[in-house]
């Protein structure tokens, strides 16, 4: 099963076309989307992000114009057994067709406040310890791991240490990314950082 992640920063029609293009190009059966920025995301809008096949989804609406999560998947490929939903993550646990082990996929859009991120890491770690099987955690972590993950912005040693400890304690490893080094820009494009990641169990 191929899985994709996309921080869309607004669920407009153009973004929906881009997501549908990714589904086709990479044969995705499961897509996790962050920053829909919709306070009440209707199903007619959600349908724009998928092809003509059947789909299932869970959503968390944005708070004002900030946040919003949407994992969406092919139920013929992934059968959901359970879910855990909060403002900053959606956990979906189920089984891939033909697989004998449960798989848990977590769509993350971490808060900007460091203390809140630490609470989030602890919450996900507790869930990881209680739910068996394969795990994948992906999305916008709003945190970097190493100094080279930032350009023209301050590296937070304490935040990175906490994040790296979470990854280690959860038994996760990071997939290497192709393309550009950084995934987020601010300050009119002058400040760059790598805050979007794909973490998987050993």
pLDDT tens per residue, range 134-190:
999 999 999 999 999 999 989 999 999 999 999 999 999 999 888 889 999 887 889
Which strand ranges, in their side-by-side order, compose the sheet holding 150-151?
A: 150-151, 191-193, 184-186
Contact between 8 and 35 under an 8 Å Cβ cutoff? The reply is yes
pLDDT tier, 102 (very low <50, low <70, confident <90, very high otherwise): very high
Check which CATH number belongs to the domain holding 21 and give it.
3.60.10.10
C-alpha pair distances (Å), 110 with each of 22, 137, 139, 144: 24, 12, 9, 12
Domain count within the chain:
1
Domain coverage including residue 186: 2-201
User: Is this model's pTM higher than 0.75 or not?
Assistant: yes
Q: 35 and 64 in contact (C-beta within 8 Å)?
A: no
Burial class (CB in 10 A: 0-12, 13-18, 19+), 44: exposed
Q: What is the DSSP string of 4-58?
A: EEEE-SS--HHHHHHHHHHHHHHTEEEEEEE----SS--HHHHGGGS-SS--EE-
What are the backbone angles phi and psi of residue 198, rounded to the nearest 5°?
A: -125, 115
* Residue 2, number of CB atoms within 10 A of its CB: 12
Q: What is the pLDDT of residues 111-135, one digit of tens each?
A: 999 999 999 999 999 999 999 999 9
């Amino acid at each position: 099963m191929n899985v994709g992640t996309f921080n869309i920063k607004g669920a407009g029609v153009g973004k929906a076309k881009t997501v549908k293009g990714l589904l086709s190009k990479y044969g995705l059966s499961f897509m996790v989307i962050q920053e829909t920025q919709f306070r009440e995301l209707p199903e007619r809008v959600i349908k724009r992000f998928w092809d003509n096949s059947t789909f299932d989804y869970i959503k968390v609406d944005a708070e004002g114009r900030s946040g919003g999560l949407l994992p969406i998947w092919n139920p013929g490929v992934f059968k959901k057994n359970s879910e855990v939903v909060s403002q900053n993550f959606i956990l979906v646990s189920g089984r891939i067709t033909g697989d004998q082990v449960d798989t848990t996929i977590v769509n993350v859009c971490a808060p900007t406040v460091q203390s809140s991120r630490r609470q989030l890491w602890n919450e996900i770690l507790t869930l990881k310890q209680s739910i068996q099987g394969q795990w994948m955690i992906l999305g916008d972590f709003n945190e970097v791991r190493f100094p080279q993950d930032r350009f023209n912005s301050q590296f937070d040693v304490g935040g990175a240490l906490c994040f790296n400890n979470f990854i280690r304690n959860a038994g996760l490893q990071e997939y290497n990314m192709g393309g550009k080094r950084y995934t987020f820009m601010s300050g009119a494009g002058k400040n760059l950082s790598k805050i979007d990641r794909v973490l998987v169990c050993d």
